């Protein structure tokens, strides 16, 4: 058992070392997306902020009254959304022209997180921070690393495709690399099921507690 765990640890360590520069780039890109999303909040006009604030108050009313979608339905919708996203990333990783689109999708994810948290904090102060921590953060503690890993793997495989097609300096058959890439995507999909469960069964209860406290 220890030998097996040690083997897995070596594989993970080798993967991180092999793709260290890509991991650094994707993490920085995601952080830039978060910053850009927060900047967008400050660039909203007064009427846009008022419209969003009205929608937010309506949503808070629904949360306080427990008028949210069924947890099982929320889980199915969330999981389907995440599976479609990583499926798209997987397909883009198989194509050379999909490389810039992969990076754009990760940047957009960062913008969404930055805008959501930034708007809540901008409008509600500390209450907004607590609400974002309850509604956005739990699943994103899992989603963000998953997005960064899948983006890194998609970029890495796409670059290997470029080397295989044009440079011909691949030390390993591309099919074996494809199998490893696909297996990792499947593992990430299983992890996203946990994030979907957080979003469907835990976040609504946390939101209700924060909204009632507000």
pTM: 0.83
Buried-exposed string 4-36: b where 16+ CB fall within 10 A, e elsewhere: eeeeeeeeeeebeeebeebbeebbebbeebbee
Instruction: Tally the domains of the chain.
Output: 1
For the stretch 28-63, pLDDT in tens is 999 999 999 988 888 877 777 777 767 776 766 666
Exposed / middle / buried, residue 158 (Cβ in 10 Å: 0-12, 13-18, 19+): buried
Q: How many residues does the chain have?
A: 214
Asked if residue 211 has pLDDT above 70, the reply is: no
Domain limits for position 153: 2-213
């Amino acid at each position: 058992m220890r030998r097996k765990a040690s083997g897995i640890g070596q594989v993970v360590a080798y993967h991180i070392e092999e793709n260290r520069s890509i991991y650094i780039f994707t993490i920085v890109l995601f952080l830039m997306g978060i910053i850009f999303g927060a900047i967008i909040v400050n660039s909203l006009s007064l009427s846009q902020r008022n419209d969003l604030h009205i929608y937010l108050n309506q949503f808070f009313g629904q949360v306080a009254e427990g008028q949210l979608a069924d947890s099982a339905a929320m889980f199915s919708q969330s999981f389907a959304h995440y599976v479609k996203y990583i499926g798209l990333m997987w397909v883009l990783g198989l194509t050379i022209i999909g490389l810039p689109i992969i990076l754009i999708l990760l940047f957009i994810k960062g913008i969404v997180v930055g805008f959501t948290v930034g708007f809540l904090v901008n409008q509600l102060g500390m209450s907004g921070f607590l609400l974002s921590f309850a509604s956005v953060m739990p699943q994103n503690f899992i989603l963000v690393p998953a997005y960064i890993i899948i983006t890194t793997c998609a970029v890495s495989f796409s670059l290997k495709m470029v080397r295989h097609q044009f440079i011909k300096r691949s030390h390993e058959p591309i099919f074996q690399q494809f199998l490893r890439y696909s297996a990792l995507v499947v593992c990430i999909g299983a992890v996203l099921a946990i994030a979907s469960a957080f979003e469907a069964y835990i976040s609504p209860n946390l939101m209700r507690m924060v909204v009632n406290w507000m």
